[in-house]
A and B are shown apart, each in its own frame.
Chain A
Amino acid sequence: MKGIKYIVTAMLLLTMAGCDDSYLDMTNKFGSNTDTFYKTKSDFDAAVAGVYNSLYISGGSVFAEEHITASLLDDTMLGGGGPDDQGAKNVDSFVDPSDDTYRDLWVETYNGIFRANLIIEKLEEVDLSKEFPSEAAAEAYKNNILGEMYFMRGFLLFRAAKFFGGMPLITSTVTPRDLPRASFSETFGQIAADLKMATDLMPRVDPASIPLGEYGHANLWVAQAYLARVYLFYTGYMTNIEGQSTTAFTLPDGGTISKEQVVSLLTDCVNNSGYALVSDFRNLWPYSYVNEAAGSDVYPWAAQEGLKWAGQDGFNGTIGTGNTEVMFALRYTFADWGWSIGQRTTNRAPLFMGLRGNSSLTPFGEGWGWCTIHSDFFSQWADNDPRKRGSVLQAGLADEGMSGYSGDKGDHETGLFNKKYLHLEFDDGSGMKGLFNYIYGWPNTDMQLRHAQDFYYLRFADVLLMLSELTEDAQYMNQVRARAGLDPIAYSLDALKRERMYELAFEGLRWFDLVRWGDVNDPSKNYFDNAIPVGNSGSTATYQVNYRPETKGLVSIPETEIRLSNGVYQQNPGW
């Protein structure tokens, strides 16, 4: 009997032989976590790129692209597209029957903010001095990144708040995520505080000295200019939409930023940044490069006008003559359907705004025909302004190669297209490819995936126009006019408005200008309600772009976010 006991005990032990469960402790070999990352300079550089990555809207909705939605909302562009593109027409008509049209923009905003908050917090803990020649150099690196992160946090919040109004303010990684929406003023106070912090922290860099490999980061001058842009939007909105005349930001800590501070920073930018207008407005846009890329005059008009692209890689770009004007841009590239974020790294504006159903009009390629251009706006634009033909592609013009154009393929068809962001393609003998396929040697020629054209967030021309508007001094505006070969004029707000409308047409800015000036509410100052004839996939109709004043220029808060907040978020008025 004793023997049995031993046998049983021994066998039980054998049964439980390998009971060391340490193999359950897993290590992630294909990623780090918040405790193990953020230790070295290269960690921070990669994390900073992660914040910029939220400029691509990973959720994928095209209505989360600010330049496309702002174009649909404004008065100079129609909905367009094909019969299925009801979404574009809804945005254009200021209706929103879907729950979540803008949810991706909302979500991506906070993705970026969370990433920036992590960096801000981790920078405070980390000692990078070993990686730098001196303590001071390490400190300078940290300050620059900190400034960049405050800028990006402000930038992302502004990108969303100018559409949504007040937003929940998530200012650290431990901030509760179920906060209610802050007021419009609180939100813009936070944005201003972040941008101001960025201007305090970042060094006075010479843009000409930025190496090509680092082009694309925000810098001090960009932060200064954005503070002015935010100031103009916020004070204009409060004054003209809310009817509460406002001239300063109220910061979260109770302080303020006055107009004088903003003007002084913007003046610094104009005088000292080193940015300058490029010589020809049309050289800002890639159509000016088609002939050079093709090695032949596939675009006769550009040859005849002697256009030479400034490129899109800053002062030191190797493609084009060098771009001294663009201060901040969304760095788009190619895309691949096999990628996890599919199409989102490529600029969808040239695709969505391309010629619908027309595939043989070199150098203009096919697209979905969105955001066709208002014919009244076009016809009132003086022909002697070279920016007119530099910005608008007109159907039927033989020297544009548009004589074979058929206008029965899309809706809201006016025969007028956004030339600044337009699908360009040609055949140099090796097959029909997109302009950027040739420039960069990208092999995938899928017409939906080849729009490696940056979207320009901020040009120096805008900085000049903002300074004129803030100081009511015509000299800056006249620099912009002079570049277009136009005579100087005296300052008036109306003149300034007209100048902005033409200089910055189709660049995603017009809508916010209309709102802040209160001009959305004044039919004499906009093209809303101007009924014009359009083609709707072959039939003719009249159409007008709509705006509803009860919305106060804001779009709808995503219904899903309202539900997930358990009703803490209030829907915007009019939605």
Chain B
Amino acid sequence: MKELYKKVSYAVLALWLCSSMAFGQGRTVTGTIVDENGQPLPGVNVLVKGSTSGTVTDANGVYSLGGVTDNTTLVISFIGYLSEEIVVGPRSVVDVNMKPDVTSLDEVVVIGYGEQKKALVTGANIRQDGSKLQGLNTSSAMEALQGITPGVSVSRNNGQPGAGTRIRIRGIGTIGNSNPLYIVDGVPVGNDINYLAPSDIESIDVLKDAASAAIYGSRGANGVVLVTTRKGKKGAKPQISYNGFYGVQNIYKKPAALNAQEYMFIMDEGLANDALAVTDWENVLKANHWANNPANVGGVNNLGTTYGEYVWNKLQSGWKGTDWVDEITQKDAPIQSHSFNITGASEDLIYGAGFSYLDQAGIIGGDIIDAGLKRITARLNTELNLVEINGRKIFKLGENFTFTNSQNRGTGTGNIYWNDLHDALVVNPLTPAYWELSPNEYGFGPTLEGISLGQTNPVATMFYRHNFNWGKGNNMVGNVYGELEPIENLRLRSSFGVNSWWGWGRSFAPAYALSSQFQRQADARSIGQSSYQGANTTWTNTLSYERTFGDHNIAVMVGNEQVRNDVLNFNLSGTRMNPLYNDPDYAFLDNTSPPSSQAQVNASGRDYAANAGGLMSYMGRASYNYQEKYMLDVTMRRDGSGYFLPHKRYGNFFSVAGGWNFTEEDFAANLSFLDFGKLRASWGQNGNQDIGAFQYQTNVEALGQGYYFGGDKLTSALTYIPRNMPNPDVGWETSEQINIGLDAGLLNNKISVTFDWYQKLTKDWLVQAPIQGTAGAVAPPINGGDVKNSGIEIALGWRDQIGDFKYGVTLTGATVKNEVVRLANAEGVINGDAHILSQGTSFVSRVEVGKPIGHFYGFKTAGILQNQAEVDAYVGPEGLPMQFPDGGTEGLNAIRPGDVRYVDQNNDGIIDDADKVMLGNPIPDFELGIQLNASWKGIYANVTMSGKFGHQVMQSYRSFSDQFDQNYTTAIFGRWHGEGTSDRLPRLSSVSHRNQRFISDIYMHDADYLRINNLTVGYDFGTFASRLGWFKAAQVYMTVNNLYTFTKYDGMDPEVTWGGSDNMQWASGIDLGLYPLPRTVMVGVNLTF
């Protein structure tokens, strides 16, 4: 059989050779081949049609080909570009301007454990080219995906450097970990790829549908992101490129807190509304008891009164108070990035190396605490042909490794107690940021205790929280692989991957004192040091074979993969009191006095891998196509997880997918407008096991703080408790997804269309559903619910050329509908944490059957009671005044004009918990992406926009239920203060009133938005660059990131992923003063040598 095949091949070859020989010896033709931007394309194939003679372009895009006659047709082809056939004619120079192939039919995309021609793909995948992502100049690659990948919801967690993104592929299917699986060069790497510089990335392939992700079985339920790092292309000459940019970042939309005069006015209005005496501000400012005590402030008498007089006098002379947001933000915070890449290939070696440096200052705290991210990456990828027999390379060896070193000092971006921006919004504007006579060594203005003991100077708070912490982290991710091909197209590949991380931290807690409640005494100073390291490994073995039998093409793959956690993990940390040197530079544990009590030492150490565990997987895939017209893919994966007992350990995941390239059919020949069309349909299963270890048994664990028998109040007795209720039957969560899609190219591929519809049902949802208190320990995860996500995704592209003017438009859109279908406990409800919007308030987010995960829950309101007549008409069904059990209706709680009209949903005349309903949904109904690009000669421009629609945000910039002295934003000017002044915001009050205290839709805002993420204009020097000789290509550009956001949302940013608590990954849309995205203006240069 094999012999016959060989013979036929030789015969065909011989025939081709003869035919080209027939035309005899011709002349030589040369030319330069450039891309759509006029940039030379190296490595382009130039073939004589109907022959085997040909060549490739050199690094300057230049080729030279002998044996050509006037009748010769040149076939010029390059991956990603439309092949051109050109009759040479009498010319001796044939330059070609290649057009990108919109549908990229020959493009090869990365699929699980392999590659596939894009034309043959049956699932819903998205591929993004690394150079395109790099062109968007974001500090992380995932940010760049925003707005260009339908069905992949990309949200930036906040604007802090290194804050990362939140990726949700086709909705949220679980209340646990909803992050996709990230695989970099075959190695699973955890919950993000922030360790990679965008310049390291060759491509990102997102597997959205279950059939595509099914080959990853257990971990594919939230989608899979496959990242390929850069490497040379076969036959390409060495290419060195540099991309650098420098920019400045500024706060884009500053929230306006009230100034001093406005603050005092609004505070007094609340008092006046409650018939209380307004504030005697002069006395309040001077009532600084702590600072008046000479013992506290270095022996100065009455410093507190002096301080109050200073502030009072400043106000008399027209001072508007401190603008805290201004104080903590840095103007023109710099960002710079430099990256070098070397790629190339020789006969037996393909290589790629990269180095990058990013230094991004934080717009908050950048100049006060040196906040920002510094990241260095270094990467080396090589592939070597080691053994060659009979001209066939039968053994390859390769490696990909990326090293990252990063240093990130952040500011607080959490709940109301750990959020520096929130502090800046709520602290009164009367406190000076700095004061000459301040007892503080840095001159921070002390707390004005007469206003509130708790309102400490936000600049000082930020400084003492963050300025004395240092940390560095390192990652090394990569793999080594060998590939054996003993028989043509039969490949055995074995890859050993490692994902490792290590780093250290150091901290110094200095003494300081700015008020009675904001101080650390000298004997409470401490030093901390910590270090960590860890790694896990992935060993993958696959065997693949592909073969063509006439019109039938098959490809099969089987494999085995082991992910082991038990490799190396180590965490150590310690703190000790009594530093020997009052200097942060000397903050090392050994520089402390010997401890005199146990309370002065704290140490912990743990090996997070000591429990062993991991995953054992078997996978297989068979792909078949007939004439590349009908495609069928079947995959199967069997996964074993250490999280389950043997009887539930293994889960099987199947998928089947089909495709039909209908434009290959005869009838399509008449449809001249249609260049390409494919229908796809798939069904598949994915799993999820992410529940943590040992949930199948009742674990008995030691408590850090046990019970304190005996006279020692510093150390508890050794105390063990049964930690959880067991669930020995806990097993795999499975999500099933149907996908139907269409790809088409029309009008000479000017128009491209991709359409997908999907429905994803997560079954046996792993959820820690609340159980009855009588259980005696916390609930175990159960396979206890179903969640449904469904939606459509569309990508429409248009590109055309008018003379030298080329332009293109891409529109993407995606809808998601999320619904909890089943929750297997009697209540059918999971409530979020309380005290989110303000201390003393109820929960905001909720999971409930029939509703979207994490919807907002509270009281509906029907405007404000405008006058006494409306108050009198606000009655229950019996005509009696509405009742409010929470707080009653006596005294200051009496119903009066300016109060919120809460809706009595059950019409019982009482407003209580029974009247709470779903108010809104933080999950957008629709996400839109728009990309525009145009070029004229060397000038080019790109715009990327993204938008989200139909979602809501819960906003609270102050702790309204307990801290009445906290400042407001100017939004409070829209309050009710007389009939007709507002129908949304109630009157002010000096006490905790239900108007504010109840979680209601007065805090909820529609947050539809469309953002111009990126605008780039640049100039490409084209062939002019290469004429200069020492570099081949050059571009200069200017980019603005986060240029403008079209929105009616009045907060800093309508993109809010924060859910109010780190415990609730399923919640989102809680805006407590989120670190805003900066607007960045930068200039950059790309050079290729």
Hey, which bits of chain A sit against chain B, CB under 8 A?
1, 4, 7-8, 11-12, 14-19, 21, 23-38, 42-43, 45-47, 49-50, 52-53, 55-56, 82-87, 89-90, 93, 95-99, 103, 106-107, 109-111, 113-115, 117-118, 168, 170, 177-179, 212-217, 313, 317-319, 331-335, 339-341, 345, 357, 359-360, 366, 411, 427, 430-433, 436, 439-445, 447, 452, 536-539, 541, 558-561, 563-567
Contact = CB atoms under 8 A, between A and B. Distances in A.
25 contacts: A21-B616, A21-B640, A23-B612, A24-B641, A24-B642, A27-B612, A28-B694, A29-B611, A33-B694, A46-B717, A83-B990, A86-B886, A95-B886, A111-B721, A114-B777, A117-B776, A168-B774, A212-B710, A359-B453, A359-B516, A427-B295, A441-B597, A447-B517, A560-B827, A564-B770
Interface string B853-892: 0000000000000000000000000000000111110011
Contacts of A37: 700, 720
Given A18-B539, A42-B718, 18 more contacts: A11-B492, A17-B541, A23-B564, A23-B642, A24-B613, A24-B649, A33-B699, A34-B722, A52-B707, A84-B839, A84-B840, A90-B886, A97-B885, A215-B710, A345-B708, A432-B516, A441-B597, A443-B526
Interface stretch (B23-31, B274-282, B323-331): B274-282
Interface of B: 1, 274-277, 289-290, 293, 295, 449, 453, 484, 486-487, 490, 492, 494, 516-517, 519, 521-524, 526, 539, 541-543, 558-560, 562, 564, 566, 577, 596-597, 599-600, 606-607, 610-616, 618, 640-643, 649, 693-694, 697-714, 716-723, 770-777, 825-827, 829, 839-840, 842, 884-888, 891-892, 912-913, 961-964, 990-992, 997
Given A49-B717, A110-B774, A114-B775, A443 B705 contact: no
Contacts of A430: 521-523
A565 B599 CA distance: 44
B770 A560 contact: yes
B268 to A, nearest CB: 13
A333 B886 contact: no
Contacts of B542: 15
B992 A84 contact: yes
A114 B698 CA distance: 12
A317 B990 CA distance: 48
B826 A565 contact: yes
Contacts of B610: 29-30
Given A15-B543, A443-B600, A558-B773, A331 B708 contact: yes
B722 A114 contact: yes
A89 to B, nearest CB: 7
Contacts of B704: 339-340
Contacts of B492: 11, 14-15
A333 B275 contact: no
B490 A86 contact: no
A12 B492 CA distance: 9
The 3 closest A-B pairs by CB, nearest first: A114-B776, A84-B962, A97-B886
A49 B707 contact: yes
A12 B543 contact: yes
A31 B723 contact: yes
Nearest to A44: B720
A325 B767 CA distance: 50
A564 B886 contact: no
Given A7-B487, A331-B707, A431-B523, A452 B713 contact: yes
Nearest to A34: B698
Chief secondary structure at chain A's binding surface: loop
B962 A82 contact: yes
Contact of A19 (B526, B560, B596): B560
B579 to A, nearest CB: 13
Max chain B C-beta neighbours (<10 A), residue from A115, A179, A427, A431 = A431
Contacts of A56: 707
A7 B485 CA distance: 11
Contacts of A317: 711
A82 B541 CA distance: 66
A33 B697 contact: yes
B827 A19 contact: no
Contacts of B840: 84-87
Given A11-B490, A37-B720, A359-B290, A177 B521 contact: no
Contacts of B892: 536
A364 B720 CA distance: 37
Given A12-B558, A31-B723, A432-B516, A46 B770 contact: no
B450 to A, nearest CB: 10
A443 B962 contact: no
Contacts of B990: 83, 537
A82 B453 CA distance: 14
A570 B693 CA distance: 37
Max chain A C-beta neighbours (<10 A), residue from B517, B694, B708, B825 = B708
Nearest to B693: A26
Nearest to A427: B295
A357 B453 contact: yes
A114 to B, nearest CB: 2
Contacts of B517: 359, 447
A47 B720 contact: yes
A170 B599 CA distance: 39
Contact of A538 (B276, B616, B618, B992): B276
B694 to A, nearest CB: 5
Contacts of B453: 357, 359, 366
Nearest to A111: B776
A444 B523 CA distance: 10
A212 B891 CA distance: 53
Max chain B C-beta neighbours (<10 A), residue from A18, A93, A103 = A18
A50 B721 contact: yes
A450 B290 CA distance: 20
Contacts of B596: 441
A24 B614 contact: yes
